[in-house]
Homo-oligomer: A and B are copies of this chain.
Amino acid sequence: MPLTMRPGCECCDLDLPADQVGAVVCSFECTFCSGCAEHLGRECPNCGGQLMPRPTRVGDALLRHPASVERIVGETPCPGRGYAGGGAPVQRLTRKPERGTGERAALDELLDEVLAGTLSTVVDGRPWCVPMLFARDGDRILLHGSTGAGALRQVAAGAPAALTVVSVDGLVVAHTTFESSANYRSAVVHGELVTLDDADREQALDVISERLVPGRTGEVRPMTRREQVATLAMALPITDGRWVLKARSGGPGDPDEETTAWTGVVPFRTVAGDPEPAPHALALGAPVPASVQGLVARWGR
């Protein structure tokens, strides 16, 4: 009997393609990723048996004996990397563990590039979501808004929150719609928000301004006290084990069937257009400042 080549890790649900290394199995074909297997002490939690690397199946053999599409995921919390300490389940990390190196740098790069994310929290058992501008400041994400904004008051009161950001980098056009996909980078950062007090707020608001239009704070007057107190500033810590990064890049795989279809990628990117002066600036004849020139140069065209 050929191995059924189950498609994912029973613990963290990581994709485990049949033609790639990284899967381990017990003698009953309980299947795990190598990351979870490490956490499990390389012992199957179901049968107690040894977990060993699963042989790959490639090429014609895989075409003749396709991998199973039936997903099995255990009900018991996985002791592996998909769960935070203290037993609190967070979203499972489904990015390949072997790509772990540099993940934090990739997270930072994404957070520093995408302008708006979705802040989600829970109100009366239902998801409550609001898109927000944000700025990464080291190991925390700064958010701000009016002190009157409803959703912000909720999360500022310590409700569990998550900030989701995504960049669609391209559409992957394969030889079938099933194989077609998108290139993307996404992150979900979980945590509880901290409301910044007076001492921290002024600097935090400047960090947010500088992240959006670098150099601008040096061109205009400082915020007044009144402006500051009208603004709610919050921080979401970036905590190990409480964020998820996923990404896809590259083209479609080689077709596994006869086809004359074009395959490839249509890349997408965000660009800035020409700065549009407001009537005040036009009347004044004010030149486009360095901050705005830099912004346009940064985002290219």
Query: Which residues of A are at the interface with B, using a C-beta cutoff of 8 A?
Result: 7-8, 13, 15, 66, 69, 71, 73, 88-92, 94, 115-116, 118, 120-131, 133, 146-151, 160-162, 164, 166, 168, 171, 173, 175-178, 180, 182, 184, 186, 188, 190, 205-206, 209, 212-213, 216-217, 219-221, 223-224, 226-227, 229-231, 251-252, 254-255, 259-281, 284, 286-289, 291-292, 295-296, 299
Contact = CB atoms under 8 A, between A and B. Distances in A.
Copies in the complex: 2
A269 B270 CA distance: 6
Contact of A213 (B69, B180, B275): B180
A206 B184 CA distance: 21
Contacts of A120: 118, 120, 127, 129, 162, 164
A156 to B, nearest CB: 13
Given A116-B182, A127-B161, 4 more contacts: A115-B268, A120-B129, A168-B270, A270-B271
A226 B256 CA distance: 15
Contacts of A219: 261
B279 A266 contact: no
